[in-house]
Amino acid sequence: MADKQFTYSDVSEHTGKKDLYLVIHDKVYNSSSFIDEHPHQRQTGWEELYGGEEVLLDVGGQDATEAFEDVGHSDEAREILEGLLIGTLKRQEGDPPAHGAPSSSSATSTAPKSGSEATGLGIGVYALILVGGALAFGAYQYLQAGQQQKA
């Protein structure tokens, strides 16, 4: 059952409390059985930190990778998550883009294709700047040499 494939639109139909699917790193989890157990706000005084069932309902039927990773869930939380696994996400054209985890190691191990797209573009831009800079420097040197010969 865990290797069942779901499309994004399959997942987006499961948004109810008793029927709640989440996508995390392109895997599909049925979190209905866990929703009542999800911990509530930690008493740290950090007002924005919240938990409980409403956060799960907020991301129900959607890609919850960013929300899940932003919290910095423990290994224990990840183990619970593995127990809720029901299948993998089959991305199709027009789906919302995958959310890579901030740490590249987990992003590459779980979502290699989607995670690397953004970095690929970043490296491309840097390469362009470097090559452009080198060419400009070369041209400058060439012109300088020409001037010196004339003088």
Task: Give the footprint of ligand HEM on this chain (CB under 6 A).
Answer: 22, 29, 31, 34, 38-39, 41-42, 49-51, 55-56, 59, 64, 67-68, 71, 73-74, 76-77, 80-81, 84
Residue closer to ligand HEM by CB (options 38, 116) is 38
| Residues constituting the chain | 151
- Please give the single-letter amino acid code of residue 24: I
Cβ count near 77 (within 10 Å): 14
Residue closer to ligand HEM by CB (options 85, 108) is 85
Residue closer to ligand HEM by CB (options 80, 116) is 80
Least distance in angstroms from the C-beta of 65 to ligand HEM: 9
Cβ count near 79 (within 10 Å): 9
Q: What token pair was written down for 6?
A: 């779901």
- Please give the single-letter amino acid code of residue 61: G
Q: Which residue is nearest to ligand HEM (CB)?
A: 42
Least distance in angstroms from the C-beta of 32 to ligand HEM: 10
- Please give the single-letter amino acid code of residue 106: S
Cβ count near 148 (within 10 Å): 8
Q: Using the 8-state DSSP alphabet, how is residue 97 labeled? A: P
Least distance in angstroms from the C-beta of 61 to ligand HEM: 12
Least distance in angstroms from the C-beta of 92 to ligand HEM: 23
Cβ count near 21 (within 10 Å): 25
Residue closer to ligand HEM by CB (options 30, 108) is 30
